[in-house]
């Protein structure tokens, strides 16, 4: 019986690995097809090559920029701003969510304000933040953090409220207080949502930081995009967008690996 179970588990793992390989293969096919179609469409002038450029030209530009180091300093600045905005926004959002969960009255008071906050485009706060703090790196980080914090608060608080109430009733029957209920039931049950929001915040932090750099920065990838638009250097703009996309994917994958590791070790 034990050997049979081991064989079933082995077959299941093989099936999962096979499915993963198929998915990766199709992802590569779609990516290569997109790049090839882009190159052909520009060469045949189905799309305007002055605006959309060519993948081969984008590769040449990036190779040159990385070789001479002109893009590296800008990339480092934007990465630092994005990571700080991501971490600060996520931590602050989780703290606000805990505060709201800890007080039912406060959560009811704040409910309409949270609904309004969810509806307002968060990048609209960017000019206000810049005026309040000043045109500096701190403003750019704050923009990324505020966008992440707003979404994190709403998502995590909802996750806390949706935890099975029977967990809370059982702990109350044993005399647990509010703090113990949160530590033993609410936090562990909502942990997957808390880790998943980090992946969402990766994209949101990039949006906030790039918008901030559009407005005030003299360094960073957002600054290079604006410079490219002003000089009508659209191949440079597309090149920077490719760099941003690659960095966002790498950060997303890192967050995904951390999420799997934490869930596995927490369990």
- Residue-wise pLDDT tens digits, 155-199: 898 888 888 888 888 888 888 888 888 888 888 888 888 888 888
pLDDT at 192: 84
Using alpha carbons, select from 122, 128, 120, 116 the residue that is nearest to residue 146: 122
Query: For residue range 217-265, what is the model confidence (pLDDT) as tens digits?
Result: 788 899 999 988 888 888 889 999 999 999 999 998 898 888 888 777 7
pLDDT of residue 3: 61
Q: What pLDDT band is residue 2 in, cutting at 50, 70 and 90?
A: low
Angle at which helices 234-266 and 221-230 cross, to 10°:
160
Instruction: Give the number of other CB atoms < 10 A from CB of residue 139.
Output: 20
Closest CA to 215 of 128, 150, 148: 128
3-state secondary structure 43-80: HCCCCCHHHHCCHHHHHHHHHHHHHHCCCHHHHHHHHH
Q: Rounded distance, CA 234 to CA 229, Å?
A: 7
Give start and end residues of each alpha helix (H) in 120-233.
126-133, 137-161, 165-173, 178-181, 187-215, 221-230
**pLDDT at site 34:** 93
Contacts of 167 (CB under 8 A, 6+ apart): 181, 185, 186, 189
Contacts of 241 (CB under 8 A, 6+ apart): 225
What pLDDT score was predicted for residue 1?
A: 47
**Binning pLDDT at 50, 70 and 90, where does residue 267 land?**
low
40-73 pLDDT tens trace: 998 888 888 888 888 989 999 999 888 888 889 8
């Amino acid at each position: 019986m034990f050997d049979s179970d081991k064989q079933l588990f082995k077959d299941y793992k093989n099936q999962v690995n096979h499915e993963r390989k198929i998915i990766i293969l199709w992802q590569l096919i779609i990516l290569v097809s997109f790049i090839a179609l882009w190159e052909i469409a520009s060469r045949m002038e189905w799309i305007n090559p002055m605006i959309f450029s060519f993948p081969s030209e984008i590769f040449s530009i990036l190779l040159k920029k990385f070789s001479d180091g002109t893009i590296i300093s800008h990339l480092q600045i934007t990465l630092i701003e994005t990571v700080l905005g991501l971490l600060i926004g996520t931590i602050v959002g989780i703290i606000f969510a805990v505060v709201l969960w800890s007080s039912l009255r406060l959560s009811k008071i704040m409910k309409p304000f949270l609904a309004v906050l969810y509806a307002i485009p968060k990048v609209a706060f960017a000019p206000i933040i810049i005026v309040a703090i000043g045109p500096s790196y701190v403003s750019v980080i704050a923009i990324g953090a505020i966008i992440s914090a707003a979404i994190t608060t709403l998502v995590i608080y909802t996750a806390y409220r949706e935890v099975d109430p029977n967990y809370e009733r059982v702990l109350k029957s044993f005399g647990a207080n509010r703090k113990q209920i949160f530590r033993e039931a609410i936090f562990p049950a909502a942990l997957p949502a808390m880790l998943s929001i980090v992946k969402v915040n990766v994209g949101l932090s990039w949006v906030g930081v790039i918008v901030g750099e559009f407005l005030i920065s003299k360094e960073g990838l957002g600054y290079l995009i604006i410079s490219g638009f002003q000089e009508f250097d659209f191949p440079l703009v597309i090149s920077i967008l490719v760099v941003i996309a690659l960095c966002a994917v790498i950060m997303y994958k890192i967050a995904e690996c951390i999420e799997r590791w934490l869930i596995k070790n927490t369990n």
